[in-house]
Structure formats: C-alpha cells, structure tokens
A and B are shown apart, each in its own frame.
Chain A
C-alpha cells in the first residue's frame, strides 16, 4: 500500500482523496424502480446541500 502511495504523484493522490467523500453520496440515492422508466440523467437533485445533476452521482 505504501509502495503505491509513494509511486503516485501528489496530484493524483489529492484527486483520489477528493473522490472518497463522493462515495457517501451514493447512500442517499433514491431507490430506482427496476420496472419503471430510467431516471433522467439531467434531473437536478439536492444531496447534502449540493445542487447536482443526477448523472453526477453515477
């Protein structure tokens, strides 16, 4: 693990760290109805105060 971190650039490391908190957003996704229509990826949703496009959560 530490070998991987040493090999990563500083920028890549920070980008990975930025991505981590976004994982929590998935927990708040509304349940998709498998039989229903696919949600509009351009629909605007609010998650944790963020105003996002549904496709941001994919």
Chain B
C-alpha cells in the first residue's frame, strides 16, 4: 500500500509493529524483509514520488573545513532516496576493511565480512548484479579488484508495484519524523510532519532510522536534544566519525599492452593494495580507477606523447582534429581514517521549514590520507615496472604536496559514519545488530553505521547490512 499523505494512511486503520523512517535502499530492503516475514510495517518517506524542489530544500546545510558538495545536491529526498541518482558501482567492503588496522586508531568493526556474506545472493537479486568475483593479485602489493557497474537500480521503480500491492507494508509519502521521543530505554513515539504541517504523534513497537548517512545523525541529534538524552543515552560518538571517499585524478599511465588488464565495458579497471602493503606503508585502503584510452596507430603515439610533451601533443592533436589525452587516466578514491572531529552538528542559526536545525558538516582530510594517495600511486607505479606493464606519472599537485584541487571529482557522494557500530559506547552509537546502545526498540540502517569506509562504493554493503538487520528484526519482533 502506498499513501500520498499521513491523513490518507490514518484513514486506512493500518496497525504496524515496526516503523521505518526513509525509503532508500536500506529502508526499503528492511521493509521488504519484514513484510516477507509477515510483520506489518510502515515506511515513512519524507518526500513525494518524484523529485521536488520543496522537499529537497529540507536538505540544505553548511560545511566547515574542506570543500564539499552542497548538502541538498549530494542526496535526494523522495521515494527511493539517493538510489535515484546512484551511479550503480557495486562491490562489498573487503575482509580487511572490517578488521582493525593497528596503525590507525578507531578502526575495526564488531562484525566480520563473513557475517554479511550469507546475504550476498539476496543482494545480487536486489541490485541486479552478475556473479561477484574474487580479487586477483597483480603483485605482492597490488590486486585487481572487481567493481561492478550495475544497472543502478532505482528502488522506487523496481519495487514500487510490489509495495503498492503488499498488504502488510504501508509506504506513507510526504511524511517524515521531525523528532523521536524517548525515555532512555525505549522510543515512545515520533512527531510527524506531513504535507507542510505538523501531523501529530505516532507510535510503534520498533523504530528503524534509515534516512541516510547525513540525516540519520541529524534526526538523532535533534531528538536527543529534545528528549534530554532519552533517545541516544550514550551520545558521545553521535554524529562523529563521519567519512567520505575523497576522489581525485591522480595522474596517468602509459601501458605497454592495453590488453594486460581485464577492463569493463567502458575500458576501466580497478586496483587496490594488499593488506601487507597497507601495513608496511601504514596507509589506508584505496582504489585506483584506470581509464584506458586505447587509441589506434598514430593516435596512440600522440596520446603517449601528451604525457611528456603536452604542448606538442596538443598541436598534433589539433592537426588531426582530435582531442587526445595522455595515455590512461588514473583516478584514486581512498579510505578516510575515522576521526571524531569529522562530524555532523546541528546548526545554531538555521532551521528547515519544520523547525529542525539544519546540518553543519565538519569535514577535513588528514595528512594520512594525502600519504595514502601518494604512496598508493607509487605502489601502482612500482607494480607496473615490476611486471613490465607500463609506467605511471603522478600529478604534480600530489608530488609537490599542494592543496587538493577544487575542480576535480572531490568525493563519491558517499556519506558514512555518524552512528557507527561498535562495542565501546564512547566511540559508537549502535551495537553489532544496529540497535542503539541502551535502547530496546531503536535501530539504525544505512551507511551511517559504517565503522570504516573501505575504498569501495557503499550501496552493496548497505544492502547486505539491511538484509541482515531485516532478518534479525524478524526474529526479535516475532519472538
């Protein structure tokens, strides 16, 4: 059942056991799991069926620190959430991403990759993925990794009909929780906002916050402030350890053989470091995206020339009426060290239409990350030499330790952390089952529970964690 307003939903007299806030990949996956288990569930979606400027305006905010995207651009507030602009890149976090790195504080998850692996067949069905393939070592330091370009499932399009026909799942559009109320043990209710006005309070046995990697922290920070700590009793880490995947063009590579690596349909191949290399160099995980430009004949020679003599190559390209770039491009995305100082705060001056403080995001890249970028490119270059596969040129701004350019990709629009998973209540918000520490009926879904980010795009891991949480809750609710 899909309702366009809370008023219409209320008229249907549906009585849910579980309330999910948000209909993105995490919220919709958990709802489908609970629905399949016969549990009545309501999904409150803040936005409408399609994009709307009015809805999107709730996401405006500000950033302090490094350059970052406008907060109302980097995510979407309508049915299906940010899956509506998802590029479709898929890969599960590496085994070592879940394990603590002795050289980086506050790393390691309370679960292992094996805890989500049983859900990967389901994830493949949900995200329309081909078979997942193991990494292939290229050298002792570098491995070829599979990053799948999936059809980029739009969750509302793919599952809209199924949800509309479901009798034990209600999706309520244009309706959000402006705050949760709690007594330090349980969430006792939610204050709703629907179609531009207060819609009263709402209660359910269980609440799952799946509003996104920025908004989960915002809702819980505001709710906790309003309930004097009654929603997140152990809130030291709430909003903190926020992470992205910084992404920049790192240089070029001349390849001896353009068939040496397996590339995808758009001539791209991906490489990451081995655990031994990360440990030896004391760096984070990273992913190098090699974009081949396999020009034929003379064009190939001019493209190689563009690496060493760009002016001359530009003149020759002009003579050929072609724009030929230097050999292969190397883009690098990397894992950020989890830092408590990278955090989501509530604005003290700016509120949205419902009166909820907007986000003030504090985000800064660390010295360790610049070293990861530089050493990562060096490792890749050394591997190409060792295997006689080609040569790498590192971009000048990286070699010279200059500032990050502001006209590059910047980051992946991947919002992780803020309600991270853990056992130490001073450094985490939820436990290994995504339940908020100290609360009996409050759970969190989505990438805000990530303890570390790894180097790969998060949607596959988000969906796997959502399947796991759905299974767990099905047992809890029916016990």
- Could you tell me which A residues sit within 8 Å of B by CB distance? 10-11, 14-15, 17-18, 20-22, 44, 46, 48-53, 56
- A50 in contact with B393 (CB, 8 Å): yes
Residues facing A in B218-255 (CB within 8 A) are 251
CA–CA, A18 to B316, complex, Å? 12
B305: contacting residue among A17, A44, A52, CB under 8 A: A17
Q: Does B399 contact A (CB under 8 A)?
A: yes
- A51 in contact with B395 (CB, 8 Å): no
Within 8 Å CB of B298, what residues of A? 10-11, 14
Within 8 Å CB of A21, what residues of B? 305, 308-309, 312
A51: contacting residue among B301, B302, B309, B394, CB under 8 A: B394
Known interface pairs A11-B298, A11-B301, A46-B399; A20-B309 also in contact (CB < 8 Å): yes
The distance from the CB of A42 to the nearest CB of chain B, in whole angstroms, is 8
Q: Does B431 contact A (CB under 8 A)?
A: no
Q: Does B173 contact A (CB under 8 A)?
A: no
How many residues from B make CB contacts under 8 Å with A? 24
The distance from the CB of A50 to the nearest CB of chain B, in whole angstroms, is 5
Known interface pairs A11-B298, A14-B298, A17-B312; A53-B305 also in contact (CB < 8 Å): no
The distance from the CB of B401 to the nearest CB of chain A, in whole angstroms, is 13
Given contacts A44-B381, A44-B385, 16 further A-B contacts (CB under 8 A): A10-B298, A11-B298, A14-B301, A14-B302, A17-B305, A18-B308, A21-B308, A46-B394, A49-B251, A49-B393, A49-B399, A50-B391, A50-B394, A51-B378, A51-B385, A51-B394
Contact bitstring B341-385, A, C-beta under 8 A = 1, else 0: 000000000000000000000000000000000000110011011
CA–CA, A48 to B382, complex, Å? 16
The distance from the CB of A26 to the nearest CB of chain B, in whole angstroms, is 13
- B302 in contact with A49 (CB, 8 Å): no
CA–CA, A51 to B308, complex, Å? 13
Q: Does B396 contact A (CB under 8 A)?
A: yes
- B305 in contact with A51 (CB, 8 Å): no
- A51 in contact with B391 (CB, 8 Å): yes
CA–CA, A56 to B254, complex, Å? 13
Within 8 Å CB of A44, what residues of B? 381-382, 385
Within 8 Å CB of A46, what residues of B? 378, 394, 399
Q: Does B147 contact A (CB under 8 A)?
A: no
The tally of CB-CB contacts under 8 A between chains A and B is 56
- Could you tell me which B residues sit within 8 Å of A by CB distance? 251, 297-298, 301-302, 304-305, 308-309, 312, 316, 377-378, 381-382, 384-385, 391-396, 399
The distance from the CB of A4 to the nearest CB of chain B, in whole angstroms, is 19
CA–CA, A44 to B308, complex, Å? 18
Within 8 Å CB of B251, what residues of A? 49
CA–CA, A50 to B377, complex, Å? 10
- A52 in contact with B399 (CB, 8 Å): no
The distance from the CB of B471 to the nearest CB of chain A, in whole angstroms, is 47
Known interface pairs A44-B385, A51-B378, A51-B385; A18-B391 also in contact (CB < 8 Å): no
- A17 in contact with B309 (CB, 8 Å): yes
Within 8 Å CB of A20, what residues of B? 309
CA–CA, A3 to B297, complex, Å? 24
CA–CA, A3 to B303, complex, Å? 27
CA–CA, A12 to B271, complex, Å? 34
Within 8 Å CB of A18, what residues of B? 301, 304-305, 308-309
The residue in B309, B382, B396, B399 that gathers the most chain A C-beta atoms within 10 A of its C-beta is B309
The residue in A20, A48, A49, A52 that gathers the most chain B C-beta atoms within 10 A of its C-beta is A49
11 A-B contacts (beta carbon < 8 Å): A14-B316, A21-B308, A44-B385, A46-B399, A49-B251, A49-B395, A50-B392, A51-B381, A51-B391, A51-B392, A56-B391
The distance from the CB of A9 to the nearest CB of chain B, in whole angstroms, is 10
CA–CA, A46 to B382, complex, Å? 10
The residue in A10, A11, A21, A22 that gathers the most chain B C-beta atoms within 10 A of its C-beta is A21
CA–CA, A49 to B252, complex, Å? 10
- B308 in contact with A22 (CB, 8 Å): yes
Within 8 Å CB of A56, what residues of B? 391
The distance from the CB of A21 to the nearest CB of chain B, in whole angstroms, is 4
- B382 in contact with A51 (CB, 8 Å): yes
- A53 in contact with B304 (CB, 8 Å): no
Within 8 Å CB of A50, what residues of B? 391-394
CA–CA, A56 to B312, complex, Å? 22
Tell me the nearest residue of chain A to B308, going by C-beta: A21
